[in-house]
């Protein structure tokens, strides 16, 4: 049975930098529609202390999710025969959203649009989308691994792309968290004992389905029926800090590895303190007091939360030697983990070829 290795990566990180000071003039309201009394500098400082975000990246007006997905894909496929792709899977949650029209546009699929932009003629290159919250790219990787292991495919392009800035409520403090970006990963079949070794996914919808949702602006004076991304941040923090470590531990145990075998943990990044809490609890489950420095690369301080794009963007930066000296060498074990709307959590164990 074949394994799946990451043969190439690409990313699109928007060049437009949005620093925290850009929110100084925003009118912030609470979920009850009452304007917040605290001055904006205090609100912004508190959010930075909690999330670690100093700035984030937003796409320019002329670009959509399908555009930046294509740009990341093109970089990943440079010099390769694109007609040989068996699948193109794009993870996103909101489709193409125009700057001045917040309605989601998902027909045709984003994957179909990317295939069209790549000018791939092969009708047996199947293009499909997956919406799965922030863990969407990782779940698409898991799906692709199943396709390869079944013998149905030998080469699959997996993309995570999102433009959360288009659906963030400027009157909601949480709008400062959201960012844009795209990352692409080319998976190929191999007979070697490397690549994707194991994965675990869980969906906690009974109690937690609506911790992230779409809702109206917090500003009661704003007219129109536009919907914006909303979240119950404190509940998400508690859920993620408790549950993500359990999923990662189960994944490692299924594979037969110990936490001490892991070189890097690539974690979805929505909140710096939350990720640090997840890491501490994971190590506490193994009764390890000292966390190795640099085991969890971070991008949130300058890239914000780009949802499904966070992990593949980070991976591409590491592979290109562009992330604070972080490296993954042949034989290294890496853990990928994510949590997001659903609530969904997934984890993947990967051995570098």
pLDDT digits (tens, 9 = 90+) for 124-137: 999 999 999 999 99
Q: What pLDDT does 52 receive?
A: 95
C-beta pairs of 284-289 under 8 Å, 24+ apart in sequence: 285/245, 285/246, 285/249, 286/249, 286/258, 286/259, 286/260, 288/259, 288/260
DSSP letter string, 69-89:
HHHHHHHHTTTS-GGG-SEEE
Q: Rounded distance, CA 297 to CA 318, Å?
A: 9
What the chain holds in terms of domains, given with CATH numbers, is 3-193 (3.40.47.10), 196-351 (3.40.47.10)
Tell whether pTM > 0.75.
yes
Residue 25, strand partner residues: none
Whole-number average pLDDT of the chain: 96
How confident is the model over 49-75, as pLDDT tens digits? Answer: 999 999 999 999 999 999 999 999 999
Count of H helices and E strands in the chain? 9, 15
Given a cut of 90, is residue 300 above it in pLDDT? yes
Q: What pLDDT does 17 receive?
A: 97
Q: Rounded distance, CA 202 to CA 9, Å?
A: 26
How confident is the model over 313-334, as pLDDT tens digits? Answer: 999 999 999 998 899 999 999 9
């Amino acid at each position: 049975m074949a394994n799946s290795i990451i043969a190439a990566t690409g990313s699109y990180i928007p060049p437009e930098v949005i620093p925290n000071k850009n929110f100084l003039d925003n009118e912030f309201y609470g979920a009850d529609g009452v304007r917040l009394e605290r001055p904006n500098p205090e609100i912004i400082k508190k959010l930075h202390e909690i999330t670690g975000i100093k700035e984030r990246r937003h796409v320019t007006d002329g670009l959509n999710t399908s555009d930046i997905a294509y740009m990341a894909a093109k970089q990943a496929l440079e010099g390769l025969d694109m007609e040989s792709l068996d699948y193109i899977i794009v993870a996103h949650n909101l489709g193409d959203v125009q700057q001045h029209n917040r309605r989601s546009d998902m027909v045709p699929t984003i994957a179909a649009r990317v295939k069209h932009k790549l000018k791939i003629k092969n009708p047996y290159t199947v293009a499909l989308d997956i919406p799965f919250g922030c863990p969407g790219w990782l779940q698409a990787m898991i799906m692709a691994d199943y396709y390869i292991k079944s013998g149905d495919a030998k080469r699959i392009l997996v993309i995570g792309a999102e433009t959360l800035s288009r659906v963030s409520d400027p009157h909601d403090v949480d709008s400062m968290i959201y960012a844009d970006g795209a990352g692409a990963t080319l998976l190929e079949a191999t007979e070697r004992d490397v690549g994707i070794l194991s994965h675990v996914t869980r969906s906690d919808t009974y109690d937690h389905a609506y911790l992230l949702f779409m809702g109206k602006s917090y500003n009661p004076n704003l007219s129109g029926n536009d919907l914006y991304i909303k979240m119950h941040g404190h509940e998400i923090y508690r859920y993620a800090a408790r549950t993500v470590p359990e999923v990662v531990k189960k994944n490692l145990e299924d594979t037969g590895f110990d936490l001490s075998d892991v070189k890097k943990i690539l974690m979805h990044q929505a909140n710096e303190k939350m990720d640090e809490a997840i890491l501490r609890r994971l190590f506490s489950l193994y009764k390890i007091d000292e966390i190795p420095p640099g085991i969890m690369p971070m991008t949130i301080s300058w890239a914000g939360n780009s949802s499904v794009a966070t992990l593949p963007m980070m991976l591409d930066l590491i592979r290109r030697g562009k992330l604070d000296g972080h490296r993954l060498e042949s034989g290294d074990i890496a853990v990928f983990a994510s949590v997001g709307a659903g609530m969904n959590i997934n984890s993947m164990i990967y051995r570098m070829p």
